[in-house]
Amino acid sequence: MIVSSFVFLALLVVSQAANQCCSNPCQNRGICMTVGTDRYECDCTRTGYYGQDCATPEFLTWLKVTLKPAPNTVHYILTHFKSIWNIINNISFLRDAIMRYVLTSRSHLIDSPPTYNSHYGYKSWEAYSNLSYYTRALPPVGDDCPTAMGVKGHKELPNANLIVEKFLLRKKFIPDPQGTNMMFAFFAQHFTHQFFKTDTKKGAAFTKALGHGVDLNHIYGESLERQHKLRLKMGGKLKYQIFDGEMYPPTVKNTDVEMMYPPHVPEHLRFAVGQEVFGLVPGLMMYATIWLREHNRVCDVLMKEHPEWDDERLFQTARLILIGETIKIVIEDYVQHLSGYNFKLKFEPQLLFNQRFQYQNRIAAEFNTLYHWHPLLPDSFHIHQKEYSYQQFLYNNSVLLEHGISHMVESFTKQIAGRVAGGRNVPAAVARVALASIEQSREMRYQSMNEYRKHFSLKPFRSFEELTGEKEMSAELEKLYGDIDAMELYPGLLVEQPRPGAIFGETMVELGAPFSLKGLMGNAICSPEYWKPSTFGGNVGFEIVNTASLQKLICNNVKDCPYTSFNVPKNRPTDNESVNVSSNSAMGDVNPTLLLKEQHSSEL
């Protein structure tokens, strides 16, 4: 018995020592490589560090790190001292220099070309060339590691259902202190559905969006076949129908385009658009309708300027213009709101023309995961003095026709969204989607939250209390995970204490911003070869791109030009602060399997 126990312990020690890289010994983006079964080497090439574990900085690196302020310090400076920033915002060369630094300092944190995927934790041609995979910022935890997070924490991760119920599920709606509204929430979901399209048949590591960026396939369709079915083939326009004097998407029957609707949806409400899941909620179809109208409006502008152009050139040029409009709105309205900065962000691709920058992008699995912002969703939806539960809202395009786009924009601008960080704010109606996010993260063997913080130049958390900023949740998390270095990425992002008065914690912003800005500025239209008036049909088209804004998009395409922004107007009452429909009852008779099928690869 003693001998057998000794043999078992010896085998256990050997198995735990088999992969020396499980402990992530290489620091500062050094790359770990095993040498036999008992040694490892760290490749410190071009990291600015040297030594066995890439822990010793070169002089210039030491100087840079010493002088560089902490991310929270930078955030504080950018979100305070408004009077000084107002001056800087009006001095072109200063604003340009700061914006250039913002873009380069963020985007250079993203590996380009891509390095890993979920099946290759080392450099390989397959990881680089196979576009059906999401890329990876960090390689997966090795199958031969002693614990799920390498060497730290318990051997097995805690029950995913328990994590959702104890730390993520909403007890009472927590409004976002930053004032984010439902116009933002639906824009986030609508915008990211063009590149977050997990191929559930193949697995969580795979994507159906082979464009890997802002190509507006959610408007025009992923495939050429779908695109042509949606096109009118006249004047470059997309197909449409008129209801009560306003333009709406065509039906499935009139396009022969496949959409995902449950059997109970009547034929005349089965609208057909580029993204097959946009019939899920009226908020998505609202934006699909607005962009349909904008495409056809831009075609009218181009036809007037270029009567000699055929349908194909009008269509293709209008698409480029809409891509430009989208990127400008995302940077100057969407990211501007999220940042809370007093510094005014600007979309000017020429700021990078003299920089080392690659105009290509690959969507990372981690970017998809961190963008699952389920807490944004309210307990119910308010449109023009009418309240909808999830059961009433899902797959209900009649909402668009009943209220019209104008009333929807006005109402969603007033309705506040939920705070994302801080924990316990995921509505019960999408709890299954949050659960799927955890399960998919485990399927892809993500490294711990602290490993991602180190990769993005953040200091690792020293304790669960430092992560959450309180004692009760942190004590429970420590029991379940055993070690702060074993804390999972996705739950960690949602329970992290938010920055003061902000929607997110530090990690969400410092990880998400580099992915976002690299994906936006890495678009082909931002390259020197594309960024010129002739690409967009001349000065008229270029002007549409350069003056785009969320408010202008709405005014050009929505009756009565309702006021809108991505935050609740401070001088206007919100619609739902005093209403709190039970999260449990809000699920109603919604089929959770169907909801999961439609939503688990998106951010909401």
Helices 398-414 and 282-305: crossing angle, nearest 10°? 90
Cβ atoms of 581 and 357 within 8 Å: the answer is no
CB atoms within 10 A of CB 462: 11
Amino acid at 402: E
Cα–Cα distance for residue pair 376/418, rounded to 1 Å: 4
Which listed residue (40, 240, 334, 371) is catalytic?
371
Q: How many helices (H) and strands (E) does the chain have?
A: 27, 8
Q: Which of 33, 49, 51 is nearest to 41 (CA)?
A: 33
Q: How far is CA 136 from the centre of its chain?
A: 15
Which listed residue (75, 193, 218, 382) is catalytic?
193
Q: Which two tokens stand for residue 467?
A: 């992560």
Cα–Cα distance for residue pair 552/568, rounded to 1 Å: 18
Q: Which long-range contacts (CB under 8 A, 24 or more apart) does 473-481 make?
A: 473/167, 473/423, 476/166, 476/167, 477/167, 480/158, 480/162, 480/163, 481/153, 481/154, 481/157, 481/158
Q: Which of 526, 515, 516, 422 is nearest to 467 (CA)?
A: 422
452 is catalytic: no
374 is catalytic: no
**What phi-psi label fits residue 502: left (phi over 0), alpha (psi between -120 and 50 degrees) or beta?**
beta
Cβ atoms of 341 and 102 within 8 Å: the answer is no
Helix, strand, coil distribution of the chain in percent, nearest 5: 50, 10, 45
Q: Which of 449, 579, 586, 473 is nearest to 173 (CA)?
A: 579
Give whole-number Cα distances, 411 to 152, 175, 555, 562, 576, in Å.
48, 16, 16, 10, 10
Q: Which two tokens stand for residue 203?
A: 């697995």
Burial (CB < 10 A; 0-12, 13-18, 19+), residue 19, is buried
CA diameter of the chain: 91
Q: Which two tokens stand for residue 82?
A: 């408004």
Residue ranges in 340-379 assigned as alpha helix (H): 365-370
Q: What is the CA radius of gyration of the chain?
A: 25
Number of residues in the chain:
604
Q: Which two tokens stand for residue 224?
A: 């050429």
- Catalytic residue numbers, as ranges: 193, 371
